[in-house]
Amino acid sequence: MRTLNDYFIPFKITDVSTAGQVYVPVPDGGKIVKVITALNGAIGTADAVLTLKIGGTAVTGGTVTIATASSAAGDVDSCVPTAANQVLEDDTIEIETNGASSNAISVDGVIIVRR
C-alpha cells in the first residue's frame, strides 16, 4: 500500500540486454520500498537481471529479474528491498544490468521511496 509519504523516481534503461549501469538521482532521502519495471519487447537467450546499488553496495532484496521465457512488451516485474535500502538527498541509485539477455529492448521503471 502506498502512502502520502511515498515519492516516485522514474528511470529508463535503453538496452536491458547490454551489461552496464544507469545512475538515477535521488531528490530526497528515504527508504526504497519497491521497484517496478515494464518491458518494451521480448528478450531472448537468458533472464535480464537488474541489481540496485547505493554507494556501490547492493540493496538487499533489490534485484529485479526479467524472465526471458514468454517475455513480451508490457511484462511487469518488481522487487521489494528489505535492507541496505536507505538513500539520502542528492544520492544516486545505481541500476546494474547483467547483460545476459539478447535483443536490444528498453525497460521503463519506477523506484518508490518512502520518507
Q: How does pLDDT run across 9-55, given as a tens digit for each residue?
A: 999 999 999 999 999 999 999 999 999 999 999 999 999 999 999 99
> Does position 1 have pLDDT exceeding 80, yes or no?
no
User: Residue 92's domain spans which residues?
Assistant: 6-114
> Does position 106 have pLDDT exceeding 80, yes or no?
yes
Q: Please give the Cα distance from 106 to 104 (Å, whole number).
A: 7
CATH number, domain of 53, equals 2.60.120.260
How many Cβ atoms sit within 10 Å of the Cβ of residue 31? 13
pLDDT tens-place string over residues 71-102: 999 999 999 999 999 999 999 999 999 999 99
Q: Is residue 98, in this structure, part of any structural domain at all? A: yes
Task: Report pTM.
Answer: 0.95
Residue 4's pLDDT band (boundaries 50, 70, 90)?
confident
**Helix and strand element counts for the chain (H, E):** 0, 9
Q: Please give the Cα distance from 7 to 54 (Å, whole number).
A: 18
pLDDT of 82: 97
Number of domains in the chain: 1
Q: Is residue 1, in this structure, part of any structural domain at all? A: no
Q: Please give the Cα distance from 100 to 17 (Å, whole number).
A: 6
Q: What is the DSSP code string of 99-112? A: --SBS---EEEEEE
pLDDT of 3: 74
